[in-house]
Chains A and B, each alone.
Chain A
């Protein structure tokens, strides 16, 4: 089929979580005949088991389908699915940059949420034409008229004639398809210009090497062309070009301006084809790269250790394999007195961390001990040197520190007025500084806060949900670094300093955090034959203490002929229990204890 550029529509679907983005995507694929209903597995675009289970999109995906419009003409739809979490904000922005328009899905009963706004603003920043769709109109609580008005008021885009649909029930999807043809512009750009493409994702394939996902803005590319990655200057010969079928790659002869597709060029490492980079023709390069490329740096670090020290090489292999497909995952070896050999890993955020550790445990069958996640602090030393601190244990002596800075984010919280007080309270507890407050409707408020990143990475989202009974939504972006009074909180178990339990904390929170930490650890460390003091200390000064009482009696009263097998099993179990612990001095500490710092705010 000859593809004319004005019959291509490159678009994405944006939505707040759970507003029905993936369901609509599936419906579109089904209606355009790419999938029969029988072949449909729910949420085709979310490939990983984890994505399906959690109902979130982790990696960008793209798919091409053909739609025969009511005017009788065939259109090529390139649907680019974007990750749905703030951790992957940069990936989202690159995916949006690859599109010409966006379908904004809004839940007809929930209305506009924090992510709705964040996503719309991001789309508008990229000059996308956005049209809204009101989803879930079949729900009894749906109020499409109100939500349409809200969209016009809050976002300022036309919404009164927005398609009113139920993606789940298949209502109104035809109207969405027609709107895509009519409301989203055809791609601009010219096939005659020098090649200019944007990388919006990449994937490692053990046969083909790295498969680079691209949007072609200008020019054309075909196998045999020599291409150049503009960020690092790397040049490669194109081996294959193609487009995205449902769950498979379909090779073609050439990709031209306006198209979305992939190339392979025997690239071995996804980090060489960074998301956001511009690809051009080496012989006939474009004048300048597309704007907006940046190397994404990890925001959250934690130590990842094998529960069984013998698994260290397996952990390294697994991390290497995951990194093949995840350019934003970093790791370097570190050793801990308490945990032995492991890795300090960097992640985009806590969700990213969660996903990686869960995949390590699940797909690579590893039993892990992870230490408390922390952000990257900047330590300015008296000698003028600045270090980026990712492991609290590496904090220089207080006498060598001039001052420290911590990362802050600007956050937007959407909350109904009923819970406004509770949420403001929460933000204040987390050292937030209010930068704005706006009534969206009579009953809904948009709060703007600057918050230290280390106050939100652990459990802010959960606290937000519980204090607002689920009626608050949240989005944030990195703002920068500010000077802050920070100290390292150390934990001593039986008078032994446990490096893996140290964390950096705001000075005024140290006492409260330290006490809670001791209390938590008291619950996690089993009783031993001796009393175990658990202490929290700042700069060598103990600020909190708990004691795990000694076991005084642990004995089987009877053991006669018929009991022996059963009693032996009990003792074996007890021994197994000991084996799963980490030895710190003479104290055996279960791996769960290392995570207790995470759960400080649970009641």
Chain B
């Protein structure tokens, strides 16, 4: 299944303010200078990574963070320019930037369009003011609507909206209100993440002290299921545990596919290279990850790695399964054989049978029979994905 495609991830570790639940690598920059130092470092790293990019087809670029939209658009322009000197950016290359309401202007968006950005992911999280405040977001619901309009009318209509479930103060009613207001805009894509309180975040501390007003476990579960139902009713097809797209390909070639091509590559273990602090790369079975220390990264871009290893077959097989099974269409039996030259049944036959028997997974034969079939989690299997996927660790 490996082809010549490669994707690029660029990490921008800056935010206006860090949200209370966030454990991503980001910080509030001391001054605007940081943007320029960091851009220089990115360009240095990209320039020294020619070997990975030459003679490849660029499938997607994803500029994530942090809040990449806090960067001056000139910086993004320079980074993309540097990439295009090495590998050609085609018209159909998906180029996404993450942005948060309150960090974009019409001018910036005009620049984004000019430099080729064709997709945006906006962090709405909620449309309820109390919930936004509790999350530590810098914006209001109105700010989000304004930002959405600016992108839409500014020329980027392939828009994804992030919402969160299971957050402080959330109820079934408030969730529906958030979803209603988001869906009214007809975004092409919605990511609905359930809150996971990570160690080391302010939320974690509050949780430990018992001062985080989370919905009860039962309520959070209902909210989680309600999200899936409501999005489905409104034409958003779930294609991954937390991701939904409008008009996802249903076999008819007329349908435009709005699934995030870049993220699909992670779950399908396509080659990708990450630039910037803490970003990860996978080239074949070679995985390497940049240092998470900004100062370390800037002083020697790309030189300091926190991991740099060749995955064993066992590791790669486990990843194939637990990443592939995140998608609603699961894994393709023949892809496993192609990747590992081994029948999936020889490795996972028992456990697959058990999961099918327990109603956690199912097998659907392809047009050309079983070889061509797919193995995927059921809705119940998705709910308890960790439990199921841990069985695929070798």
Contact = CB atoms under 8 A, between A and B. Distances in A.
Interface string B314-344: 0100110011001000000000000000000
B380 to A, nearest CB: 8
Contacts of A567: 322
A553 B221 contact: yes
A529 B278 CA distance: 35
Contacts of B323: 559, 564
A557 B241 contact: yes
B360 interface: yes
A553 B383 contact: yes
Interface stretch (B35-43, B172-180, B385-393): B385-393
Interface in A567-586: 567-568, 570-572, 574-575, 578
Q: Which of B241, B278, B307: most chain A Cβ within 10 A?
A: B241
Interface stretch (B99-107, B130-138, B200-208, B279-287): B279-287
B385 A555 contact: yes
B326 A575 contact: no
A385 interface: no
A561 B318 contact: no
Contacts of A568: 315, 318-319, 322, 393
A572 B385 CA distance: 13
A562 to B, nearest CB: 4
Interface string A546-563: 000001111111111110
Contact of B9 (A551, A554, A561, A570): A561
Contacts of A552: 217-218, 221, 383-384
B193 interface: yes
A556 B278 contact: no
B272 interface: yes
Given A529-B358, A529-B360, A568-B322, A561 B385 contact: no
A554 B318 CA distance: 18
Contacts of B144: none
B242 A561 contact: no
Contacts of A574: 386-387, 390
B106 to A, nearest CB: 30
B59 to A, nearest CB: 13
Nearest to A570: B386
A558 B383 CA distance: 13
B196 A571 contact: no
B75 to A, nearest CB: 21
B385 A575 contact: no
Nearest to B164: A557
Contacts of A557: 193-196, 241-242
A242 to B, nearest CB: 59
Interface string B194-237: 11100000000000000000000110110010000000000000
B6 interface: no
Contact of B280 (A562, A570, A571): A562
B390 A562 contact: no
Interface residues of B, number: 47
A436 B377 CA distance: 70
Given A553-B224, A555-B194, A562-B279, A575 B383 contact: no
A562 B307 CA distance: 11
A554 B11 CA distance: 28
A394 interface: no
A424 to B, nearest CB: 41
Q: Which of A565, A570, A571, A575: most chain B Cβ within 10 A?
A: A571
A574 B282 CA distance: 24
A554 B280 contact: no
A554 B384 contact: yes
Interface in B345-388: 358, 360, 382-387
A557 to B, nearest CB: 4
B160 interface: no
A552 to B, nearest CB: 5
A556 B385 contact: yes
Contacts of A556: 196, 241, 385-386
B266 A564 contact: yes
B9 A555 contact: no
A556 B322 CA distance: 11
Given A555-B384, A555-B385, A578-B390, A562 B278 contact: yes
Nearest to A577: B390
B287 to A, nearest CB: 7
Contacts of B280: 561-562, 564-565
Given A571-B393, A572-B393, A575-B393, A561 B279 contact: yes
B393 A553 contact: no
B291 interface: no
A46 to B, nearest CB: 43
A554 B242 contact: no
Contact of B384 (A553, A561, A562): A553
A561 B8 CA distance: 11
Contacts of B307: 565
A562 B220 CA distance: 27
Contacts of B241: 555-557, 559
14 contacts: A529-B360, A553-B224, A553-B383, A554-B383, A555-B382, A557-B194, A561-B274, A561-B279, A561-B282, A562-B9, A562-B280, A565-B287, A568-B318, A570-B386
Minimum-distance CB pairs A-B, first 4: A574-B390, A557-B193, A575-B390, A555-B385
